[in-house]
Structure 1
Amino acid sequence: METTPSPAPASRHISTHIDRPAKTVYDYASAPSHLPEWAHGLGNSIEKVGERWIADSSPLGRVVVAFALENEFGVLDHEVTLPSGETVYNPLRVIADGAGCEVVFTLRRRPGVSDEEFQSDADAVSADLATLKQVVEQA
């Protein structure tokens, strides 16, 4: 009997454990001005223009980033509006885990993204989370 390969998952959860309290990690990661230090997918600079955050040097071009309001639940969700006008929703959580925490990014597969592109995006998110871990643990 032949089987059809199952389709690639629509999303992938990528995480890292950070040896710092969840509140410390949340406070650092929730500050948009810190993004260039660890979230290279959003570029090398970000600035607030009115009520919006603009990343001009993103590999995707000029993008607008909107963040979840400050909260006590560790939710760092954000939307990135691409130069095409498409908005990508990015779930991101900081979850307490003993004396440290786990940071979980849910990478959503957009329509038309190949397996190779999806893997490349996952690798970039993993690298960003590794950088976040390094930056926060060395502070």
Structure 2
Amino acid sequence: MNNIGKGSRHLSTHIDRTVNDVYTYASDPANLPAWARGLGESIAKIEDDWVAGFSPMGRVVITFAPRNELGVLDHDVTLPSGETVYNPVRVIASGARSEVVFTLRRRPEMSDAEFERDAAMVDADLARLKKLMESG
């Protein structure tokens, strides 16, 4: 089934913390296992790469956008197959709070069920980030 053109989905959560607080925490790759479990249970810096261990997808390499003042948390995930998936993520102001927006892009080979599974994983990751940030 060819799903090209079936689009993207924007998933978001509002967090009762400042943009700076959320961006500082979420942009630190060492914090990923605490909130982005879809990427893996652990992460390590190996030479110039961040490598997620025990990922549901196998060994993946994660490359992050450089730290910036715009709240851009984009990252590429290179899968064991060698395919690289680009993940746009933004932390934006919402009054005194923050909104984290993850754009989930549907890959051409994805079934409806796979896309929904990925969306549920991202929603769970965003909920964990919200809980961690609001409890700390």
Q: Equivalent of 1:51, from 40, 48, 54? A: 48
CA RMSD of aligned residues (A): 1.1
Equivalent residues in 2 for 1:103-114 (5 A)? 103-114=100-111
TM-score, normalised to structure 1, is: 0.93
Counterpart position of 1:125:
122
Counterpart position of 2:86:
89
Deviation at 1:111, TM superposition (A): 1.0
- Per-residue CA deviation, residues 28-75 of structure 1 (Å, 9 max, x unaligned), is 000000000000011110000111000021000000000000000000
Residue 29 (1) aligns with residue 29 (2): no
Counterpart position of 2:11:
14
Counterpart position of 1:71:
68
Distance 1:24 1:68 in 2: 18
Q: Percent identity between the aligned chains? A: 63
Deviation at 1:8, TM superposition (A): 7.3
Q: State whether residues 8 and 115 of structure 1, in contact with CA within 8 Å, keep that contact through their aligned partners in structure 2.
A: no
Which consecutive residues of structure 2, in runs of 5 or more, have no partner in the other structure?
Answer: none
Larger Rg: 1
Distance 1:40 1:8 in 2: 28
SS in 1 for 2:115: helix
Distance 1:136 1:53 in 2: 23
Counterpart position of 2:112:
115
Distance 1:68 1:8 in 2: 26
Distance 2:51 2:109 in 1: 26
TM-score, normalised to structure 2, is: 0.95
**How many residues in Structure 1 have an aligned counterpart in Structure 2?**
133
**Which amino acid is the alignment partner of residue 76 of structure 2?**
E
Counterpart position of 1:40:
37
Dislocated runs of 4+, deviation >4 Å: none
Distance 2:117 2:51 in 1: 24
Identify the range of structure 1 (68-77 vs 9-18) with the bigger mean alpha-carbon deviation. Answer: 9-18
Deviation at 1:9, TM superposition (A): 3.2
